[in-house]
Amino acid sequence: MDIKFETRPITEIDSDALVIIGFDGEAPASAPAAGQVRELYASGEFSGEPLDVAVIHHPEGLKAKRVALAGAGKREKFDSATLRKVVSVAVRVLKGKGIHTIALLLDAGSHSDEFAAAAVEGAILGDFESNRYKTDPKKNEKYIESFAVIGGSQPAVDRGRILGEAQNFSRSLANDPPNLLTPLSLAARAREMAAQFGLECEVLDQDRMRQLGMGALLGVAQGSAEPPALIILSYRPVSAPATKDHLGLVGKGVTFDTGGISIKPALDMDQMRFDMAGGAAVLGAMRAIAQLKPGIPVTGIVPTVENMPGGKAQRPGDIVTSLSGKTVEVLNTDAEGRLILIDALTYAQRLGCTHLVDAATLTGAIVVALGHLYAGAFSNNQGFLDKLLAASKSEGERIWQMPLDEEYHKALESEFADLQNIGGRPGGAITAATFMKDFVNDMPWVHLDIAGTAWLEEGKPYMVKGATGICVRTFVRLAENWS
C-alpha cells in the first residue's frame, strides 16, 4: 500500500473514497458534501457511534467517487488511539467493497502530527491479512493501492508508516507456522531485516552458548531437533548519544511450545506458534528504531528455542546452572520462558545495557488476572516503569502495573537449588516475574507479560484473527522519548 501526504485542496482529490470522521450525534457542519452527510444523520443511517461506517455515493462538489463516514463515538473521548481503530475499520470495510484508493480528511481538531501518524498506522494495520499461505487465486482481488492523509505533516505520515509496517512485520512473524519459523529461520529473518535497515546483528549458536554457560536456555532447547539461537541486534545513534544510558529490549522467542515433558493439553496447542510474540515485538521495534533514529543506544535480544518432549528433553526435577551462575530446579518444563529469559537478561547486562525491558507470553495467570485487554507490567524501579507506562499510553497500548512485593519470593525457595522455576498456582504471573527479578540485580527493569494480548482468537472489526504485534509501538516511543 502506497502511503501519501496530501496537500491539494479537498475538491481536487480524485480517490475511490474520501473518509471523514463523524462523531456521535454531531453532524459535521463544514464537512465535504455537508448536505448529504446531514441527511445520513437525520435518517438514522449513520449515528457516529464507534466503528460505524456509512458510504455516500457521488458526493456533491468532489472528485472523490464516494465519501465514507467513519464513526468515532463521543468527541470528548476522541484521541489518537481511537482514530487508529476508526481508520482500521474504515480501511477494512472499504477494502471489502473493492475500493482501491482512499484519502482521509483530518478535521481541524485532529490535525496534529500525532493524529496523522496514528491514522497511517491504523490504515496499515487494518490492511493486514492473515491469509499468506492460502492458495485461493481470489484472495488478492480486494486490496488497497494507496492511502493518503490530508492534515498533519510529511514526517508524521512517515513515522506512522514506519511504525505500522514494523508492527505488521511482528504480526507476520508470530503468525508463521512453527514448521516454517524455527529458531534458526527466525534468526535468518532477523539477519535479513538487520541488513536491510542498517542494524548490527550477531547470532550465538548452541556451541557458543554452551561455552558461555547458558544452561537455563540450553536446558529448554535440548528436547528439540531444532537448534536454539540467541539473536542480538544493535542500534547506535549516528552522533554521540546525549545519554550514558543503554536500553535493552529482550523478547521471549519460543517458536513452538508443547510444554515439554509437562505437556500442554491438545486443545488450542496450535496457538503456541505465537509463543515468540515477545521476540517478534523486539525485532519489529528494532526495525522501526533503525529508521526513526532515537538518541539512545538500543540493543534487542531474542533467545529463541523450540520446547519439545523428545528423548533428550529436560525433565521435571532437573537442576540447571544459568549464565549468572545461579542454579534452578526445574519443577515444570512448561515454565520455560522464564528460563530462556534469565540467560538473555544476564547477557544483556554483560553487553552494557543499563535499563532492561522484556516482553513475553509468559503465563496463563496474567490472562486470568487481566483478561485480553491489558498486558501486565512488573518492575523493580517505579521511575522506569512510569516512563514505559507513559510511552504505552501515548501509543494506545494498554498495560497495567502489577505488584512485585518481596514476600512472593518465598514461593520460589528450593531445597535443592538456589531457586525453583515455579511458585504454585496463586499469583502465578507475579511469582514468574519475581523469579526473573533475581537475575537483573539492581538494574532498572520492567517485565511485560503479554500472554493475554499478543493474539486475537477471533477477528475484530479493526484487526484480523492472529498476532497483534503488541509492544512494538511502546518500545519505539520509549526509546524516542528517553531524554
* 429 contacts: CB under 8 Å, gap ≥ 6: 362, 363, 365, 366, 369, 376, 378, 402, 449
Which of the residues 264, 326, 387, 393 is marked catalytic? 264
Q: How far is CA 258 from the centre of its chain?
A: 23
350: left (phi over 0), alpha (psi -120 to 50) or beta: alpha
Q: Checking DSSP bridges between strand 445-449 and strand 455-456, what pairing results, if any?
A: unpaired
- Give the model's pLDDT for residue 111: 64
Give pLDDT tens digits along the chain (483 positions).
999 999 999 999 999 999 999 999 888 777 899 999 999 999 999 999 998 999 999 999 999 999 999 999 999 999 999 999 999 999 999 999 999 999 999 976 666 899 999 999 999 999 999 999 999 888 888 999 999 999 999 999 999 999 999 999 999 999 999 999 999 999 999 999 999 999 999 999 999 999 999 999 999 999 999 999 999 999 999 887 778 999 999 999 999 999 999 999 999 999 999 999 999 999 999 999 999 999 999 999 999 999 999 999 999 999 999 999 999 999 999 999 999 999 999 999 999 999 999 999 999 999 999 999 999 999 999 999 999 999 999 999 999 999 999 999 999 999 999 999 999 999 999 999 999 999 999 999 999 999 999 999 999 999 999 999 999 999 999 999 997
Give the up-direction half-sphere exposure of residue 231: CA atoms within 13 A in the CB hemisphere: 33
| Distance, CA of 331 to CA of 353 (rounded, Å) | 31
Beta bridge partners of 230: 204, 303
Is 312 part of the annotated catalytic residue set?
no
Which of the residues 84, 273, 338, 477 is marked catalytic? 338
pTM: 0.97
Rounded CA Rg of the chain: 24
| Distance, CA of 42 to CA of 20 (rounded, Å) | 17
Q: Which CATH number is 2-151's, of 2.170.190.11, 3.40.50.1820, 1.20.1730.10, 3.40.220.10?
A: 3.40.220.10
- Give the model's pLDDT for residue 30: 78
Q: Checking DSSP bridges between strand 17-22 and strand 101-105, what pairing results, if any?
A: parallel
Long-range CB contacts for residues 70-74, cutoff 8 Å, separation at least 24: 70/19, 70/20, 70/21, 70/22, 71/22, 71/23, 71/24, 71/46, 71/47, 72/21, 72/22, 72/23, 72/24, 72/48, 73/23, 73/24, 73/48, 73/49, 74/23, 74/24
Beta bridge partners of 298: 235, 247
Tell me the residue length of the chain: 483
Sign of CA dihedral 189, 194, 195, 197: positive
Superfamily of domain 176-480: Zn peptidases (3.40.630.10)
| Distance, CA of 120 to CA of 5 (rounded, Å) | 10
* 117 contacts: CB under 8 Å, gap ≥ 6: 80, 152, 156, 157, 159, 160, 163
| Distance, CA of 338 to CA of 437 (rounded, Å) | 10
Contact, 396 vs 80, CB < 8 A? Answer: yes
- Give the model's pLDDT for residue 351: 98
| Distance, CA of 181 to CA of 92 (rounded, Å) | 28
What is each CA distance from 84 to 10, 21, 196, 397, 430, in whole angstroms?
22, 12, 27, 11, 32
Contact, 351 vs 232, CB < 8 A? Answer: yes
Nearest to 378 by CA among 351, 348, 353, 408: 408
Domain ranges of the chain: 2-151, 176-480
By the 10 Å C-beta count (0-12 exposed, 13-18 middle, 19+ buried), 109 is classed as exposed
Task: Extract the C-alpha cell encoding 220.
Answer: 529448554
By the 10 Å C-beta count (0-12 exposed, 13-18 middle, 19+ buried), 409 is classed as middle
- Give the model's pLDDT for residue 53: 96
- Give the model's pLDDT for residue 109: 64
Is 350 part of the annotated catalytic residue set?
no
